[in-house]
Amino acid sequence: MVTKIKVKGMSCGHCVKRVRRALESLPGLKNVKVDLQSGEAAFEKPDKVSMDEIIKAVQEAGYQVEKML
């Protein structure tokens, strides 16, 4: 199942790479895609990875998760 989140604070391609790397660093996340224009990130998430872990990874990269889509 694909999970989508709205990410606040991305303004360039470098931001996209930072968010993508942060999400890819979480074990089990697959098919991570981050889109600058929509400000969204999409990925396949196993049950063992919590949304709290995802939010923390994005925040540590310097961005904010606005909401799940």
Give the CATH number of the domain where residue 33 resides.
3.30.70.100
In percent, the amount of the chain with pLDDT more than 90 equals 90
Concatenate the DSSP letters of all residues of 6-41 into one string.
Answer: EEES--SHHHHHHHHHHHHTSTT-EEEEEETTTTEE
Edge-to-edge order in the sheet of strand 40-44: 30-35, 40-44, 2-8, 64-68
The boundaries of the domain holding residue 18 are 2-68
Average pLDDT (28-35) is 96
* Total domains present in the chain: 1
Residue 61 token pair: 């990269």
Q: Read off the pTM.
A: 0.93
- The pLDDT of residue 36: 97
CB atoms under 10 Å from CB of 62, counted, come to 12
